[in-house]
Amino acid sequence: MPRVMIVGANRGIGRALLDGYLKRGWECVATSRNEQESEDNVTWMKLDVRDPDNHITVKGELDLLICNAGVFLDRGDKIGSGFEANLWEDTFATNVTGTYLTIETQLEALRASKNSKIAIISSQMGSDTTAPGGSYIYRSSKAASLNLGRNLATDLKSEGISVGIYHPGWVQTDMTRNKGRLTPTESADGLIERFSELSIKTTGCFETWDGKIHPY
């Protein structure tokens, strides 16, 4: 039975990904900042990705690690009246540092599996090519997570570990105030297909949920 770890799986896209892999018969490790009720074929772990002491290597093999945890704290901020320093710190601690700490902690389990994969949920807002302005903190953090994924893909290629970076679409979640065009399930189904196609040949890719190549 293949095994996936989904970071930030208690709601939104993460929960939809968890449901999708359960339906497909995968063994799932799922994380949340808060305690969750037990479920069949799910091992829940309490994890605040910002805290290095929270990260624990899972036992056994991991075929797929999905880094989904993220925050958007500067929505609506304007130059001269927003973008406070603590928001930069909190956002990067979750969206960038937390992603790296998660991957570094789970490398042993990923290395134990043949042809394992890492999927980083970034955003089209991290693209340098498409830069419409605003949301500086969130955009900068997602650009950093994209850069992180690209460099990890280079360093881990020789070990047979593939890394993909993904834009999940505009999804109806708390982060978008439920104003998205996609349901979490629609996004998750597309992302699961993308993850299944990820390989060493495509490592370092930046793709949308529906399989389009996104400009960096």
Residues 6 or more apart from 137 whose CB is under 8 A from it? 73, 74, 77, 83, 87, 88, 91
| Ramachandran quadrant class, 107 (left: phi over 0; alpha: psi -120 to 50; beta: rest) | alpha
* Token pair 């302005």 in the structure block, residue: 133
**Stretch among 12-21, 55-64, 126-135, 171-180 having the lowest mean pLDDT:** 171-180
User: What is the residue extent of each domain of the chain?
Assistant: 3-208
Q: What is the pTM of this model?
A: 0.94
Architecture of the domain defined by 3-208: 3-Layer(aba) Sandwich (3.40)
Q: Which residue(s) pair with 15 in the sheet?
A: none
* Token pair 């993460």 in the structure block, residue: 14
pLDDT in tens, 61-115: 999 999 999 999 998 899 988 999 999 999 999 999 999 999 999 999 999 999 9
pLDDT in tens, 138-154: 999 999 999 999 999 99
Which amino acid would we find at residue 182? L
Which amino acid would we find at residue 161? I
pLDDT in tens, 45-67: 999 999 999 999 999 999 999 99
SS3 for the chain is CCEEEEECCCCHHHHHHHHHHHHCCCEEEEEECCCCCCECCEEEEECCCCCHHHCCCCCCCCCEEEECCCCCCCCCCCCCCCCCHHHHHHHHHHHHHHHHHHHHHHHHHHHCCCCCEEEEECCHHHCCCCCCCCCHHHHHHHHHHHHHHHHHHHHHHHHCCEEEEEECCCECCCCCCCCCCECHHHHHHHHHHHHHHCCHHHCCCEEECCCCECCC
